[in-house]
Amino acid sequence: MEEEYFVVSPATRQAVTRLPKAFVADCQKRVGRARVSHEMLQSQVEAVSPVFRHADAAREEMARLRRGIAEVAAEQGLRILAAGTHPLASWHTQSTTEKPRYTRLIDDFQIVGRRNLLCGMHVHVAVPAGVDRVHLMNRLMPWLPLFLALSTSSPFWSRERTGLLGYRQAVYAEWPRTGIPDFLDGQAGYDAFVDLLVRSGAIDGPGSLWWAIRPAARYPTLELRIADCCTHLDDALAIAALFRCLVRGHLRDPEWGAVRTPMTRRVIEENRWRAMRGGIEATFIDEARDDVVPVASLLATLRERLADDARALDCEREIAALDAILDRGSSAHGQLQVYRRGCEAGHTRLESLREVVDWLVDATVPGLHGVPATEAFHASP
């Protein structure tokens, strides 16, 4: 699992424009050198987990990483928050991390790179040797919008309510080689495509394919990339467990997802838009049934199909936590609820957005800054 966090000032609630020089190094000393890294913009850091074989290990380690990074931030007069976008931050004020790769990206993508004030969650799941990861990816792709719907945490952008719950995907779509990939002809077709782009000078390797799902370049995994960074750790763990079960279920049933039509990719894109707009309240197009289905119904059907996989992987607790997302909403719902309460109380729009930032900080690591865990977690109904 990889989670990207914003680093913020508790005084202004703004994302910092520059990290303290020793911040990442201090985080690495606290939680492990390989566990924290810089991001392209100075206002962000990334937590990188080890390989997990059990959901309990993921829960313990991801909580340790969040808390360790948050404690270092607090010691340096800062805070962290987990969300797809920062409610107050403006991309105009951001500084780029001084690394050759990031410098090349900004030079190549210009304003598109400078606007990348976004935080996501990536989940890697190992695929057994001998299984064609790209063929498997093709079969998993129709489920991508569901993971976005469950994870939405980006309803604000540059102090504006966007009207979307998952605006991060809209901004990220400005980048080349993002979104829903095409159905490629297995690993051989994928390798041929990468080779073409490398030879033409478009990319320097497969790591520059930033699709919503991809075969990882460095690991024998499929990497889920469509999810917003989840404010609530339980949501992140539930989504990661669901993806792991989905991979296992497709490996167990080689026919699942094998049938597609010339419309299938366009339908997935349409459902991605619906997830961005409506989150868990969206309805998705079911191409096979020629109908639409609510996200909650789709998730219930999927969970029933994956029940044996959840038992085999011993992650039924994490899968059950998906109910909480449906009941209280995703982080986006919580943020909007806090914002509305502030506005209804007569606070200015800016004051209400600052209250959203405070809620995000407290819900990212409940209890650390004096707010009870239950209060931080249940700020939205």
Q: Residue type for 321, please? A: A
DSSP-derived secondary structure for 273-299: HHHHHHGGG-EEEETTTTEEEEHHHHH
At residue 80, the 3 state secondary structure works out as: strand
Residue 352 is predicted with a pLDDT of 97
Average pLDDT, the chain: 94
Percent of residues, the chain, with pLDDT higher than 90: 86
* Distance between CA atoms of residues 133 and 138, nearest Å: 9
* Distance between CA atoms of residues 153 and 85, nearest Å: 7
Residue 94 has pLDDT above 90, yes or no: no
* Distance between CA atoms of residues 338 and 334, nearest Å: 6
Residue 381 is predicted with a pLDDT of 35
Evaluated on CA atoms 345, 350, 353, 358, the torsion sign reads negative
The H-assigned helical ranges of the chain are: 23-31, 55-75, 100-109, 111-114, 133-140, 144-151, 167-172, 186-199, 233-252, 264-278, 295-305, 307-312, 316-320, 322-328, 331-344, 349-364, 373-377
Residue 115 has pLDDT above 90, yes or no: no
Phi, psi at residue 288, to the nearest 5°?
A: -65, -35
Residue 380 is predicted with a pLDDT of 41
170's tokens: 């809209």
Q: Residue type for 304, please? A: E
Cβ neighbour number for residue 258 with a 10 Å cutoff: 11
Residue 125, H or E segment? strand 121-126
Q: How confident is the model at residue 375 (pLDDT cuts 50, 70, 90)?
A: low
pTM score, two decimals?
A: 0.95
Q: Any idea which of 174-183, 318-327, 362-371 has the lowest mean pLDDT?
A: 362-371
Q: How confident is the model at residue 372 (pLDDT cuts 50, 70, 90)?
A: low
At residue 123, the 3 state secondary structure works out as: strand
Mean pLDDT confidence for 139-144: 98
Q: How many CA atoms lie within 13 A of 353 on its CB side?
A: 20
* Distance between CA atoms of residues 177 and 208, nearest Å: 8
Percent of residues, the chain, with pLDDT higher than 70: 97
Residue 378 is predicted with a pLDDT of 54
Residue 48 is predicted with a pLDDT of 97
Residue 84 is predicted with a pLDDT of 98
Evaluated on CA atoms 89, 234, 278, 2, the torsion sign reads positive
Residue range 228-237, pLDDT digits in tens? 999 999 999 9
Q: Domains in the chain, ordered, with CATH? A: 2-377 (3.30.590.20)
Residue range 184-213, pLDDT digits in tens? 999 999 999 999 999 999 999 999 999 999
Residue 90 has pLDDT above 90, yes or no: no
Q: How confident is the model at residue 379 (pLDDT cuts 50, 70, 90)?
A: very low
Residue 15 has pLDDT above 90, yes or no: yes
Report the relative pairing of strands 210-211 and 178-179 from DSSP bridges.
parallel
CB 298 within 8 A of CB 284: yes
Residue 373 has pLDDT above 60, yes or no: no
Residue 254 has pLDDT above 50, yes or no: yes
